[in-house]
Structure 1
Amino acid sequence: MTTPPSWDAMYEPDGAPPPWDIGKPQQAFLRLADQGLLTGRLLDAGCGTGEHTLLAAARGAQATGVDISAHAIAKARAKSAERGVQANFEVADVLSLGQLGMTFDTIIDSGVFHVFSDEDRARYVASLASVLPSGGRCYLMCFSDRQPGDYGPRRVTQGELRTAFADGWTVDGIDADTFEVNPGALPVTTVHAWRAALHRI
């Protein structure tokens, strides 16, 4: 597997963190943890430096985080050791999750779905399905079309989310939420998001 230089460059050891790497979990995932929903065998798809994986692990989940960036995974493993929180981190492509040889009860996605083209979006949803058996749950947060301006990633509509997960999934809800971003990385400190709750049929 070859890591696209653009992703690994985002996590250069001496570089500034990317906009989404805020050094703590997003509030939406803290709320999920507080509701007891980040449990069981949990996969953090596109985990970056591991904040949500470590949050789930600290709440008792058997948590695995995967990211295509080796730099990001190195930082996540260092955090795990520093905090004394046991979690598994692997360099892996979220478009080929079946290669992990594992299945999960819960998947979380914080800001990954919106990076894909239409073609890769379908591959991503199929990849998630390959490791999430019937009854498994997925909590996904992505950039929203309610966000004004043209900076940042591609905007996603509720309709696009429902279409992407139309086959083999039930959309339990899509709610408005926000991402916190690093000050200065974008011209704002929060951006509009959709938070989707899904499960496999």
Structure 2
Amino acid sequence: MNLVQLGKLHENVLDAGCEPNRNARYLASLGYKVVGIDISERAISKAIDKTSSEKSNVNFNQRDFSRLNEFKGHFDTVIDIGCFHSILNSDHEPYTASLSHICHSDSSVFLRAFSETNKSRYRRWQGHKRYSLALKRNNVKKLSL
């Protein structure tokens, strides 16, 4: 069962770390207004090339995730599938503060990352508690980890 089938997604969606852009394109094809953001210029260029022939409701942006000020309170849903656990520990707090800034009080944030159940990878990444606390501190109430 996916988030769409469960009715968990809402109109304005941010796909954080959108490479390979499947999720952004899929959600746009269902009518969601999607912004796909990735720090990699190459990833965004590939995403734009893939969607150039499609009538799509997705906008791809090459951005540093910790600097998303122009989107203040814009997103109803944030999907992070592998972005947070791939950034440096020193960037966790700016990233979560930025996400808190672009969400509103009824926003939902969905994070898929390494967990305690995957012991081999968990030692390399233990930021999920900081992520959760930072978002809750900034009034993002719905959080699925």
Q: Does 1:59 align with 2:30?
A: yes
5+ residue gaps in structure 1?
Answer: 1-29, 175-195, 197-201
Judged with a 3 Å threshold, the aligned counterparts in structure 2 of structure 1 residues 133 and 171 are, in CA distance, closer, same or farther, namely: closer
Q: Does 1:167 align with 2:137?
A: yes
The residue that corresponds to 1:181 in the other structure is: none
The residue that corresponds to 1:20 in the other structure is: none
Report which stretch shifted further, 165-174 or 34-43: 165-174
Q: Return the offset for 1:84.
A: 4.2
SS of 2:2's equivalent?
helix
Distance 2:35 2:13 in 1: 6
TM-score (norm 1): 0.61
5+ residue gaps in structure 2?
Answer: none
Q: Return the offset for 1:140.
A: 1.1
User: How many equivalent pairs are there?
Assistant: 145
Q: Which has the higher contact order (CA 8 A, sep 6+)?
A: 2
Judged with a 3 Å threshold, the aligned counterparts in structure 2 of structure 1 residues 68 and 35 are, in CA distance, closer, same or farther, namely: same
**Counterpart selection for 2:2 from 25, 28, 31:** 31
Distance 2:58 2:68 in 1: 18
Q: Deviations over 1:121-145 (max 9, x none)?
A: 1111100011112211111111123
Considering only aligned residues, what root-mean-square deviation do their CA atoms show, in Å? 2.7
Distance 2:120 2:30 in 1: 37
Aligned-residue sequence identity (percent) comes to: 29
* Larger Rg computed on CA atoms: 1
